[in-house]
Structure 1
Amino acid sequence: MTDEDVAPEQGELAITRTGDRLRLAREAAGLSLADVATRTRITQRHLSAIEKSDFSELPGRTYVTGFARAYARAVDLPEAEVGAAVRRELEEDANGARPLYEAYEPTDPTRLPTARMTWTLVIIALLLASAYGVWRFLSVEPGEALIAAQNRAADASEAPQSDAAAPPTSKTGSPQLAIAADAPVVLTGLSEVWIGFDDATGKTENWRTLDPGETYQVPPAYIDQFTLRTSIPQALKVTVGGRDVGAIGPADTLVKGVSLKPADLVARAEGNGAPSTAAPATAPLPKG
């Protein structure tokens, strides 16, 4: 057997983590980390951490599986398979961190643990079990448990919404200035914030997180098909054609069904009393 016959087998054995598989798929497709970041809207720093399977570098384990699945879609790998593999690795990492203990022989009285050591081991085991349960709950993809929980809480905590279909008017009751239908809608994270895009049935089809200072221009297709939701409205700045529309809901309150159409967002800005960058309309002269 030649060296050339052995090399491929050693290369396959070297791929032990899902991050290695994603990196090799990216390189085979001729893509850079910047290319994948553009496709997934995930920062290069987080993508690099996924390739290294260094999940501690990510903003929270809640997002690890979702980020990995988005990466898999970008390089044409089966996202469900990649997501399941990442969950297994997270579970293996958590189990590997548990302390080992020596098994004592009941027949040897000199090696029996003291009552104090026994209680210490019991307390440690309970703490580890509690921590593992919390981790398992938080590690479920946002597309499954987190979004479902927000939908269940919506009726109780949803912010009051104005009628977006009503024709926008200024404080004087006259129609406000028209806004271009294709005016860019830009979302900016004031701190780390989760945002989702709901379809006509209220189901969240797309979601992402924005880092502090990160901007995201909403695609035209999203403006026509989806509405915006977030649970931290005070951490999100929304602008239309460079104009700040103001707060889209009370702080720390789930808001949903926010129309992304420029005219509706400007109408919301008028209702919030947000400053306008447009020239003021001339008031009509009083009739003689």
Structure 2
Amino acid sequence: MADEEVAAQGELAITRTGDKLRLAREKAGLSLADVATRTRITQRHLEAIEKSDFTELPGRTYVTGFARAYARAVDLPEAEIGAGIRRELEEDAYGSRPLYEAYEPTDPARLPTARLTWTLVIVALLLVSAYGVWRFLSVEPDEALVAAQNQAADDSEAPATKAAAPAPAKAGAAIAANAPVVLTGISEVWIGFDDATGKTENWRTLDAGETYEVPPAYIEQFTLRTSIPQALKVTVGGRDVGPIGPADTLVKGISLKPADLVARAEGSPAAPAAAPRTGG
């Protein structure tokens, strides 16, 4: 009887979705490295999901997708895990709200003098100016902006406008049908591969300077998606094809076939495959 009570208490203690994923992984005899290999998600992101530490992930819009991939890798129901993660995100957002404080009238005798007020205004202006200069010189993409645009673009395709690009593939140059397609991270960037129905079958994160040669099977069966196009360099047979979409915008349905990528660089991009919206 005592053993049953201990087991019941252990089950009640497992309240976070990350605990369920970790226990399923351990029960299957898998390490975090094994799950990372299956899902193409970095170990530090998987570990953050197990700890329910969502601040360690590249953006909150990725949390549900990462958790569902983890669930598939350890044979847990995707929908249940996705719902649990969304519920925890809402709880975290509610818990981070400031507590209400009752308003008390200010004592006029405690109001700051005019000189102190002007000093504070000048200091605030200097801080705002310094921040503006830092933002102007910064080359890192704004992850909050990327996450917001990624979620807003979930209902529609990315605009097909072209962006200025350094050294695209030479117009009219012949390209072999089996030329290697290589993706290189200019800074940390998330990429995904969608099947013909628009469902993301695989994804991974490329660190700055990391390269990934797309397997021939992926070139034929999948299209590319990313939310930070300016952080990703695409080459075909060693030639840069230029940007695959506007900066800080979710793009998807990008054909990985060498001829289509070169055509896109020459100003006549192939139309992306229609991809119906998928949940989670």
State TM-score, norm by structure 1.
0.62
> Pick from 184, 187, 205: which aligns with 2:183?
187
- The residue number in structure 2 matching 1:148 is 155
- Unaligned 5+ residue runs, structure 2? 108-144, 165-170, 268-280
* Alignment correspondent of 1:222: 218
Structure number with greater CO (CA < 8 Å, separation at least 6) is 2
Pairs aligned (count)? 222
Letter in 1 for 2:214: V
1:119-156 Cα offsets, whole Å, 9 max, x none, are: xxxxxxxxxxxxxxxxxx998996x754324x1x525x
Given that 2:60 and 2:147 are in contact with CA atoms closer than 8 Å, whether structure 1 keeps it comes out as: yes
Distance in 2, Cα, partners of 1:210 & 1:76? 26
User: What RMSD, in angstroms, separates the aligned Cα atoms of the two structures?
Assistant: 3.7
Distance 1:141 1:233, change over 3 A: closer
- Identity, % of aligned positions: 68
Q: Determine the structure 2 residue equivalent to 1:262.
A: 258
**1:8 Cα deviation (Å)?**
1.5
Pairing partner for 2:104 from 114, 117, 141 = 114
| C-alpha distance 89-14 of structure 1, shift in aligned 2 (>3 A) | same
Measured at CA, do residues 198 and 5 of structure 1 come closer, stay the same or move farther in structure 2, by a change above 3 Å? closer
Shift of 1:86: 0.9
1:12-41 per-residue CA deviation (whole Å, 9 max, x = no partner) reads 122111000000111111111111111111
Contact 1:63 1:141 in 2 (8 A): no
**Which letter does structure 1 place at the counterpart of 2:256?**
L
2:242 aligned with 1:247: yes
SS in 2 for 1:154: coil
- One-letter identity of the residue aligned with 1:148: D
1:223/1:78 CA distance change after superposition, 3 Å = same
Match of 1:44 in 2: 43
Q: Provide the secondary structure at the position in 2 that maps to 1:238.
A: strand
1:212-238: per-residue Cα shift (whole Å, max 9, x none)? 334333233321133334454332122
Seen in structure 2, the aligned counterparts of structure 1 residues 14 and 244 have a Cα distance that, compared at 3 Å, is: farther
Structure 2 counterparts to residues 50-129 of structure 1, below 5 A: 50-101=49-100, 113-115=103-105
C-alpha distance 44-99 of structure 1, shift in aligned 2 (>3 A): same
Amino acid at match of 2:15: T
C-alpha separation in 2, matches of 1:21 and 1:141: 31
